[in-house]
Amino acid sequence: MFGFVPKNLVQFVRRRVVIEAHSCFFQNPCLKSISTAPEGVETPKASDFTVSYLENSCGLSSETALRISKWFHLKTTDNPDSILLFLKEQGFTGTQIAKMISFRPDLLKSNPDKTLKPKLYFLRDVGFSTPDLTLVLSKNPTILVCSLDNQIVPAYGFLKGFLGTGEVVVSTTKRAPWLLHYDLHKTIGPKIGALQDHGVPDSSISAMIKQQPRHFINVNPDRFTEALTKVKEMDFKPSSSFFYLALQAILSTSESNWEEKFELYRSFGWSEDDMLSVFKRQPHIMELSKDKIRKKMDFFSKEPRLGLSVVSNCPNLLLLGLEKTIIPRWSVIRVLMSHGILNKDVNFYTIFRLKEKAFLKKYMIKYQEKVPQVLEAYQGKTVIGS
């Protein structure tokens, strides 16, 4: 009996593969069924019609329209026209609509009255202005094909319950609109619970969600727990903002990359205790690329009047731009020191962290007539070390 093969099995399997491939392409939980053509079935008229409509009415490029038409087909313009008209009436620009359709062409088959209006009205009711809506939905039109009752409303409720106000929810989702179509109770809830179990206050957790929501969505739960344990073992206080910064740094760096960066810092003479001490004062140093770490550490290690002791005392120096900030300003400082205007006890970090306008006023304009060389130094015409 198992040797029997249905006559249309091959065609059925091919069709199934096509549909699954398209589902993977979008990679989100809200993908609805889209009409597709089985492999080997040619529909030139439908394809030509779809390409023409996507180009002329939706504003898509020929290349994008042709790519979409290989699996998405339109038969009439009635419903698509009503969708485009509705979106324009809601304040979406032609560019935004083209972007939305290129990502979610299935919007053209939705029902404006039954599926689109209720979602837009709900989002407006909870505080999204028209500019907010057009920004959020053009970034992630998947929201418009998700279930209002089963996904959007629960996601909004979860965020408001933890972030506190609708205004904060709006500002957070403007940066991460995809939050509105996830089951946040399943994806974020357990991680919030883990943080609370470790003694992290809700105010800190709220700040983490607002600033780095992807860590709560994309990071594997086991990886999240491991990072949390690692931060605790480094003796960061859960109530400190540095606890969150350290967790962010660990989550942003793969384990292998972490070890390589750690060893890179140590190659310049820092011990493991030195590294831990510096990291505890500025966790962001582990988020720098290895190339930037190497260049900055090399620069400071070769400048006798700076040295790595200055960096270990002020690790924020490593976060400043080497070519744009550190080198030109250090060139100016060296010139002023050579003329006895600045002494060796000057606080370098205070000078490096000044706003550009303040630095120019205090160290360039003020001394330009007395020490004309400061301009050449700042412009890179004076070679450091000379």
pLDDT per residue as tens digits for the range 357-370:
999 998 888 888 88
Sequence-distant (≥ 6) Cβ neighbours of residue 386 within 8 angstroms = none
CA nearest to 104, candidates 45, 225, 39, 22? 22
Confidence (pTM): 0.70
Low-confidence winner among 3-7, 182-186, 302-306, 343-347 (lowest mean pLDDT): 3-7
CA-based Rg of the chain, rounded to a whole angstrom? Answer: 28
- Can you state the angle between helices 44-56 and 62-69, rounded to 10 degrees? 140
DSSP-derived 3-state class of residue 381: coil
| Residue 37 confidence (pLDDT) | 43
| Residue 305 confidence (pLDDT) | 78
pLDDT per residue as tens digits for the range 159-204:
998 898 899 999 999 989 999 988 999 999 999 999 999 889 998 8
DSSP letter for each residue of 113-133: IIIIHHHHHHHHHTT--HHHH
Confidence check: pLDDT of 278 > 80: yes
pLDDT above 90 coverage of the chain, percent: 48
* 263 CB neighbour count, 10 Å cutoff: 11
CA nearest to 19, candidates 106, 149, 118? 106
In whole angstroms, give the CA distance from residue 8 to residue 16: 12
Confidence check: pLDDT of 17 > 80: no
* 2 CB neighbour count, 10 Å cutoff: 4
| Residue 91 confidence (pLDDT) | 94
Binning pLDDT at 50, 70 and 90, where does residue 382 land?
low
| Residue 375 confidence (pLDDT) | 86
* 331 CB neighbour count, 10 Å cutoff: 22
Confidence check: pLDDT of 152 > 60: yes
pLDDT per residue as tens digits for the range 103-142:
999 999 999 999 999 999 999 999 999 999 999 999 999 9
Confidence check: pLDDT of 314 > 90: no
| Residue 279 confidence (pLDDT) | 93
* 178 CB neighbour count, 10 Å cutoff: 17
Confidence check: pLDDT of 306 > 60: yes
| Residue 381 confidence (pLDDT) | 54
Contacts by residues 61-68 (CB-CB < 8 Å, ≥ 24 positions apart): 64/102, 68/102, 68/105
Work out the average pLDDT over 326-339: 89
Phi, psi of 162 (to 5 degrees): -100, -35
- Alpha-carbon dihedral sign for residues 192, 238, 275, 319: positive
| Residue 34 confidence (pLDDT) | 38
CA distances to 174, 182, 287, 304, 324 from 312, rounded to whole Å, are: 37, 42, 17, 14, 21
| Residue 340 confidence (pLDDT) | 87
| Residue 14 confidence (pLDDT) | 35
Is residue 133 packed enough to be buried (19+ CB in 10 Å), middle (13-18) or exposed (0-12)? Answer: buried
Identify whether the C-beta of residue 232 lies closer than 8 Å to the C-beta of residue 208.
no
